[in-house]
Amino acid sequence: MTKPDTAAVGDAVTTAQPKKAAPSNLLLRIAAALVLVPLALGAAYAGGVFWTALVTLVAVGLYLEWLMVVGEVRAVRVSVIGALAIAAVGVCLAFGLVDVAAVVLGLGLALVAALAAGHRSWAATGFIYAAAAELASVLVRLDVTEGWHALVLVFLVVWSSDIGGYVAGRGIGGPKLAPRISPNKTWAGAIGGFGTSLLAAACWALAGAGGLMAMVVLAAVLSIVSQLGDLFESAVKRHFGVKDSSHIIPGHGGLLDRLDGYVAAIVFAAILGLLRGGLEGVGRGLLVW
């Protein structure tokens, strides 16, 4: 769901109604998606080092953007130590050293918390946020039998929630979902995103990725979690008076802006799959009921 500005009426009067996205901005969003979606799917399908490398790179970006939002990015030691720890975790995961990766994460968190100055708890939270996304993404794909299907399910739920929410929110409008947190999100957008995520999951199940009922129910939960993750990131930005986490993705903003829903969904999915399927069966734990 997007965050449009207020629209001008005449020469001096403004209203609280969001204006439609400029065609050039919409084209940028589509062009970026045409590049990023195949990249994500290709790396996820390849798995192994390719997927772990992409996830690690993105996790470092998430961490640095978080520090920008909370005003700690200029603390060079915090930025460098945290980024190096996340990168080291990626190396450990690429070689299957999950236990070592957990130790590195603990050490990295301790150092970030110790070195941060003005916003120590926020810096530590950002490290946990990025590292959790990294670890969860790798663990879900680690399952050699169902990891690909489970990971694509998360992709489809998050992407369809965003697209459905965007279309319904702009086309229908109506009451605001959480005006104090994200004033441009509507109930229509939330319901639209929820509905499209169920449809996407059903199509993925019919393609042979898992049982229809289980996939739809799981998609319903993941869609809600994804939208809550979006609201969480919006609340953090609003707390610090920031509109976009960065402008690294043309037409989309920053990594935090685009991946807030994914981070929440993949972490929830990994925890659920881990509880049900164990370390090497996270994907099965998600899809086989």
Domain boundaries along the sequence of the chain: 46-142, 144-289
Report the pLDDT value the prediction gives residue 251, as an integer from 0 to 100. Answer: 56
Three-point CA angle 116, 126, 121, nearest 5°? 45
Asked if 166 and 196 count as a contact pair (C-beta separation under 8 A), the reply is no
- Which of 72, 45, 70, 63 minimizes the C-alpha distance to 150? 45
Please name the amino acid found at residue 256. Answer: L
Per-residue pLDDT of the chain (289 residues; tens, 9 = 90+): 334 443 333 333 333 344 444 445 667 777 777 888 999 999 999 999 999 999 999 999 999 999 999 988 778 899 999 999 999 999 999 999 999 999 999 999 999 999 887 788 999 999 999 999 999 999 999 999 999 999 999 999 999 999 999 889 888 988 899 888 888 889 999 999 999 999 999 999 999 887 899 899 999 999 999 999 999 999 999 898 888 777 777 656 789 988 999 999 999 999 999 999 999 899 999 998 8
- How far CA 55 is from CA of 50, 137, 258, 271, in Å, comes to 9, 7, 14, 18
Residue 8 DSSP class = E
Q: Show Cβ contacts of residue 158 under 8 Å, excluding neighbours closer than 6 positions.
A: 197, 222, 226, 261, 262, 265
Beta-strand pair 182-186/6-9: unpaired
pTM of the model: 0.87
Runs of H (alpha helix) within 240-254:
none
Go through the chain and tell me how many residues it has. 289
Report the pLDDT value the prediction gives residue 69, as an integer from 0 to 100. Answer: 92
- How far CA 145 is from CA of 47, 198, 218, in Å, comes to 12, 23, 19
